[in-house]
Structure 1
């Protein structure tokens, strides 16, 4: 008779989970620091004890059987819960909040406000990292992320913050030099920075039928902060977030000539592993962050008018 799950060795479950997730004994071996033969042996031993196959062996990979899929889901959840419990029991880990986010959002919005969070929670140190990739919060050593997208990330709970809208921004002197920019179509011949495809999307949102050939853009950068820096210097018009650059607009350093905005990414979200939603430091940061948005009239106004606002607790 097959053994019950209670009698199965945790090491075999760990090996099986990695092989099922990566669909490869070789990649599982690399991740776990084992040999491919050792992974294969552990899986075969597990299959013998359960009395049924867990994988279909294919030429270049392995594919879980129906039974393997069921066990893989349970194993991934169980290992995640164990990892969470161990992390929550580690005092040093609980004293450090690791955040990954976009550089533009970190520079323009989050970093200037983090001091207030640390004053309110002096026992929590913040480690902030900006990355040009989507960090896997279920596997990498980060507690939470603030990212743009649709909020649908497997294994994560996502709390909506505000839309990822962009709109033309420029220096007041350039706006005046361009005749005041009274109509969105005036930007067709204006010096611009940013991807031409993004501008085409904004022109469409503003109701302007852009011709095939326009004045073109002078600069394309991989960071919104670089493009808006060009706008701040008076060189060109850039597409930027009215939320991230609310201070510069309020100070008169940037002008927003038109209300029309283009949603280029669904929205900004706070995301963290579902099983960690009650971790004290995550709860503290979530409540503080939503409080910041509620206290910021620009952020709150955009969040409240979005159809996704109902996803906020």
Structure 2
């Protein structure tokens, strides 16, 4: 026999516990007629009577008395299962973000977030691929995209403002005074679209073709290779503040370009009220602003206001 409608079973459990339709109706926010209808539906489904009239109230039949404790136990087990699932879900925050953001920004700051939520475990999924949030395994994402897309809550983080950078030692060996000089030296990941964006933003319209060069699949590797003196990388400076402050990365030009993809914090609509998601949002947004200081590049200017 297939299970009867769960709604009817839930009504039966409450009515059996109270042996009173009115009290069951109050508990379940139903009308007394609604309770009577669900009990009748259940009795028709199993082909036996579960309650009998007793004065102005009701009483369980012998069959009702036999099954009521087992039904109550089943609902108790269901309640425990879902309570455990909710507790486990609230105890772990899953974040996905790019390798560069994870390595050069988040890793050294996530401890500060943990101090505000010591009972919350953080799982970091590091990938340059866009993860499907609808799958439910990830709570929040930090994405560099043009449009975050529908079905998600979005918070603007920063515009990605880019410029070529290299080590002082590399620039000493390979003097660069004009954009055309970049064609004469090793460019890191020269096929990356960030190079096209920067060259296209020049007033003279110089075209930087995709010359041969070292190719990496993330900005963090481009930056590390540039620090090591292997070439010129196209960099979003806020992701390399320590190297820039220490003089290990230098910009040969004062010209910056705005990359089309903006960084956003995004999460599914149905997770907007989760305490762990709100906590991370409320920590991340001011932490981003604080890390950029007086924001000399204008990275905190929302694209709509630029």
From 265, 278, 282, the equivalent of 2:277 is 282
User: Aligned residue for 1:70?
Assistant: none
Output aligned runs, 1:176-255, within 5 Å: 176-179=172-175, 181-196=176-191, 198=193, 199-210=195-206, 216-255=211-250
Q: Is the 8 A contact 1:159 1:271 kept in 2?
A: yes
From 140, 144, 154, the equivalent of 2:136 is 140
User: Aligned residue for 1:122?
Assistant: 118
Q: What is the CA-CA distance between 1:309 and the residue it aligns to?
A: 6.4
Distance change (3 Å), C-alpha of 1:148 and 1:212: closer
Provide the rounded CA distance (Å) in 1 between the counterparts of 2:130 and 2:209: 35
User: Aligned residue for 1:297?
Assistant: 292
Secondary structure of 1:264's aligned partner:
strand
Residue deviations 1:91-146 (CA, integer Å, cap 9, x gap): 12111100011111111111111011111210111000112322111223111000
The TM-score normalised by the length of structure 2 is 0.66
User: Aligned residue for 2:24?
Assistant: none
Q: What is the CA-CA distance between 1:247 and the residue it aligns to?
A: 1.9
User: Aligned residue for 2:255?
Assistant: 260
Provide the rounded CA distance (Å) in 2 between the counterparts of 1:87 and 1:157: 26
Distance change (3 Å), C-alpha of 1:246 and 1:219: same
User: Aligned residue for 1:46?
Assistant: none
The CA RMSD over aligned residues, in Å, is 2.8
Secondary structure of 1:305's aligned partner:
coil
Q: Is the 8 A contact 1:188 1:210 kept in 2?
A: no
Q: What is the CA-CA distance between 1:184 and the residue it aligns to?
A: 2.9
Q: What is the CA-CA distance between 1:299 and the residue it aligns to?
A: 8.3
Q: What is the CA-CA distance between 1:204 and the residue it aligns to?
A: 1.8
Distance change (3 Å), C-alpha of 1:272 and 1:87: farther
Provide the rounded CA distance (Å) in 1 between the counterparts of 2:231 and 2:255: 18
Q: What is the CA-CA distance between 1:212 and the residue it aligns to?
A: 7.5
Larger radius of gyration: 2
Q: What is the CA-CA distance between 1:192 and the residue it aligns to?
A: 0.8
User: Aligned residue for 2:164?
Assistant: 168
From 272, 282, 287, the equivalent of 2:267 is 272
Q: Is the 8 A contact 2:159 2:301 kept in 1?
A: no
Provide the rounded CA distance (Å) in 2 between the counterparts of 1:309 and 1:278: 28
User: Aligned residue for 1:155?
Assistant: 151
Distance change (3 Å), C-alpha of 1:264 and 1:294: closer
Distance change (3 Å), C-alpha of 1:123 and 1:297: same
Provide the rounded CA distance (Å) in 1 between the counterparts of 2:223 and 2:83: 40
Q: Is the 8 A contact 2:167 2:226 kept in 1?
A: yes
Secondary structure of 2:213's aligned partner:
strand
Q: What is the CA-CA distance between 1:154 and the residue it aligns to?
A: 1.7
Provide the rounded CA distance (Å) in 1 between the counterparts of 2:84 and 2:290: 30
Q: Tell me which moved more, 144-153 or 301-310.
A: 301-310
Distance change (3 Å), C-alpha of 1:128 and 1:242: same
Q: Is the 8 A contact 2:200 2:207 kept in 1?
A: no
Q: Tell me which moved more, 234-243 or 251-260.
A: 251-260
Q: Is the 8 A contact 1:96 1:126 kept in 2?
A: yes
Distance change (3 Å), C-alpha of 1:289 and 1:213: closer
Provide the rounded CA distance (Å) in 1 between the counterparts of 2:173 and 2:143: 36
